[in-house]
């Protein structure tokens, strides 16, 4: 029986690896274990709870004001013992985090095969996004099997000299996770009621309003400082311009570099709701009820179009050009004038809105996990 170790450490990784982990639970050909680094502790635990995943190994590395040096060294030093004890035939990592790169490097040192989920995403600029672009490129060098979400990602890998036989286009597992949660909410009316009650009682959010809901997320390191100030000033202008017709909901990342400008600029505006990061199923529900999404996230560029929501991306470049080409996503950077004008266009121009909301999502139909597991059955 071949042994698979799934490694992840952040909330986005957990969301995207959960569908694979759940499907591998019932696979008799593999012995599967899960190792979390807890690069993000609180937000990671929320996802584990939602998908009912119990890690076999928990490195519990998160500490206050941790640096990239801390995370990298912590993963390398701690995961070695897990590899020695479990002796996996392959380690599955995801995407572009420091956990991903460090776990891959540690696996390489042990000559353990590596499978990279969401492989091949590239901007071509090592500093945008930073450090994610370097993490995924470096992981790609060490990887044995590349699970590319799109044909564009596959082409990126081929250009870098990766062997075609070791690449498979799968779609993105985030769509698997998204549909899993949507189906769960739709089939459990008591869960939907609890979500609505939580949003109202905890955050004073009334989703029965006729107002358009603009959902905002932001956390990218390259936007710290002036970037976040510009973002918040654009949101302030939008809130004032559409005070009677729009509600802006901002689940603000816990990083102080995000919290400070968000609270300084947006805290006392009546139609701006600054709330804590939400559990994934609550966030998905809120996204489904939103009019549009403004974000610098990677995963939301894939998820929101799956729900028919236009996305304005507060980044200069994206490793997900498929969404831009498909018309589901538009880049606005951290230029406050551009953020304001593009949002205004979607609020006031119904044709522009329909064009984005009805564009076809290029990230698949929710079968990525099945394709990955089928590939592993043939190759391991």
Q: What is the pLDDT of residue 5?
A: 98
Q: Could you say which of 11, 13, 58, 96 is catalytic?
A: 96
Biggest CA–CA distance in the chain, Å, is: 62
Say whether 190 is catalytic: no
Which pLDDT score is estimated for 129? 86
Which of 41, 45, 192, 221 is the catalytic position?
221
| H helix runs in the chain, sequence order | 11-24, 42-50, 68-86, 98-109, 132-142, 151-159, 173-187, 189-203, 226-241, 256-266, 280-289, 299-306, 321-326, 336-348, 350-357, 368-379
Residue-wise pLDDT for 353-376, tens only, equals 999 999 888 898 899 999 999 999
Provide the pLDDT for residue 3: 98
Say yes or no: domain 2-172+365-379 is CATH 3.40.50.261.
Answer: no
Question: What's phi and psi for 89, nearest 5 deg?
Answer: -80, -30
- 253 as an active site residue: the answer is yes
Q: Which residues contact 374 (CB under 8 A, 6 or more apart)?
A: none
Active-site position among 253, 273, 315, 320: 253
Whether 273 is a known active-site residue: answer no
**Ranges under pLDDT 50 in the chain:** none
Each residue's pLDDT tens digit, 254-275? 788 888 999 999 999 999 999 9
Dihedral pair phi/psi, residue 34, rounded to 5°: -120, 130
Sign of torsion over alpha carbons 33, 59, 283, 139: negative
219 catalytic per annotation: yes
Q: In the annotation, is 352 catalytic?
A: no
Quote the tokens at residue 42: 């609180």
Catalytic residue, candidates 132, 176, 247, 281: 132
- Partners of residue 212 on adjacent β-strands: 246
Looking at 11, 122, 136, 219, which residue is catalytic?
219
- pLDDT at residue number 342: 98
- Does residue 210 carry a catalytic annotation? no
Please name the fold of domain 189-357.
Rossmann fold (3.40.50)
- Gyration radius of the chain's alpha carbons: 20
Domain with CATH 3.40.50.2000 in the chain: 2-172+365-379, 189-357
Catalytic option among 11, 58, 116, 118: 118
């Amino acid at each position: 029986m071949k042994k698979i170790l799934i490694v992840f450490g952040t909330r986005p990784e957990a969301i995207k690896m959960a569908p694979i982990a759940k499907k591998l639970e019932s696979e008799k050909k593999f012995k599967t274990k899960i190792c979390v680094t807890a690069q993000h502790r609180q937000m990671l635990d929320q996802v584990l709870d939602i998908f009912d995943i119990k890690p076999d190994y928990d490195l519990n590395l998160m500490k206050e004001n941790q640096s990239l040096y801390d995370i990298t060294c912590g993963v390398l030093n701690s995961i070695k013992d897990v590899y020695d004890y479990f002796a996996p035939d392959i380690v599955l990592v995801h995407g572009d985090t420091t956990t991903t790169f460090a776990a891959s490097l540690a696996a390489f040192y042990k000559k353990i095969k590596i499978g990279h989920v969401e492989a091949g995403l590239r901007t071509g600029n090592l500093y945008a996004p930073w450090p994610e672009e370097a993490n995924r490129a470096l992981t790609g060098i060490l990887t044995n099997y590349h699970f590319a979400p799109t044909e564009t990602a596959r082409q990126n890998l081929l250009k870098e000299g990766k062997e075609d036989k070791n690449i498979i286009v799968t779609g993105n597992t985030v769509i698997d996770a998204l549909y899993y949660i949507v189906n769960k909410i739709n089939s459990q009316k008591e869960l939907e009621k609890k979500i609505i009650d939580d949003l109202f009682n905890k955050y004073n959010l009334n989703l029965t309003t006729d107002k358009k809901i603009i959902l905002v997320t932001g956390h990218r390191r390259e936007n710290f400082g002036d970037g976040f100030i510009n973002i918040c000033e654009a949101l302030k202008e939008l809130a004032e311009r559409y005070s009677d017709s729009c509600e802006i909901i901002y689940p603000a990342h816990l990083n102080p570099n995000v919290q400070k400008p968000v609270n300084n600029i947006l805290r006392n505006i009546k139609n701006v709701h600054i709330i804590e990061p939400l559990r994934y199923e609550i966030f998905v529900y809120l996204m489904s009820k939103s009019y549009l999404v403004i974000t610098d996230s990677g995963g939301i560029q894939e998820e929101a179009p799956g729900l028919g929501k236009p996305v304005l991306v507060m980044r200069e470049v994206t490793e997900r050009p498929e969404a831009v080409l498909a018309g589901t996503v538009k880049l606005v950077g951290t230029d406050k004038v551009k953020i304001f004008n593009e949002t205004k266009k979607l609020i006031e121009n119904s044709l522009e809105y329909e064009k984005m909301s009805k564009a076809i999502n290029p990230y698949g139909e929710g079968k990525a996990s099945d394709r990955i597991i089928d590939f592993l059955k043939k190759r391991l």
